[in-house]
Structure 1
Amino acid sequence: MTIEALDDKIAAAAFRRLVEHLRHRTDAQNVDLMGLAGFCRNCLGDWVQEADGTMSKDEARTLIYGMPQSEWKARYQTEATPEQLAKMQESMAKNAG
């Protein structure tokens, strides 16, 4: 089965579960997500915005974070270490391919 063949209802349910999981796992920093997988909460919000076509970037990111991004950052974001930033840059380079 290809991802395109996946029923939209199933895909939507899985996406919602992913978003809820990320809202719960505030310990998973965006820089770590970027370092491991090359995407983060911001990326998900941007993809929602692109797919919707009417939502602003802030609206889409608020949808993903469950609160304004600035509030999430103030509550949960920690200072990135040089190692985290280096791993993120290495991972992001793989996205271009």
Structure 2
Amino acid sequence: MGLTPGQQRKAQRAVHLAVAGLLLVYVYAPPVAGLVHLIRWVAFPALVLTGLAMWQAPRIRRALGRRRSGRRPGLAETEARAVTVGR
């Protein structure tokens, strides 16, 4: 069906590290004209998006799961979550 959460983390981490390496090359290498546009319009947004995706992965997965199942959290689930978070 899709990637397991562990496989997804590994793939995101690999992309994130590869793009970070490209960003390091951009910072420490002599200026290259084509690299500027690649970093500005592809690499940096990819770095931000993969970072956010890794950070918020559980929340995104829960939201997509609810959306696919067509259900919304009920009052009991919201209260249970509030009690758990409050501890």
Q: Could you tell me the TM-score, scaled by structure 1's length?
A: 0.32
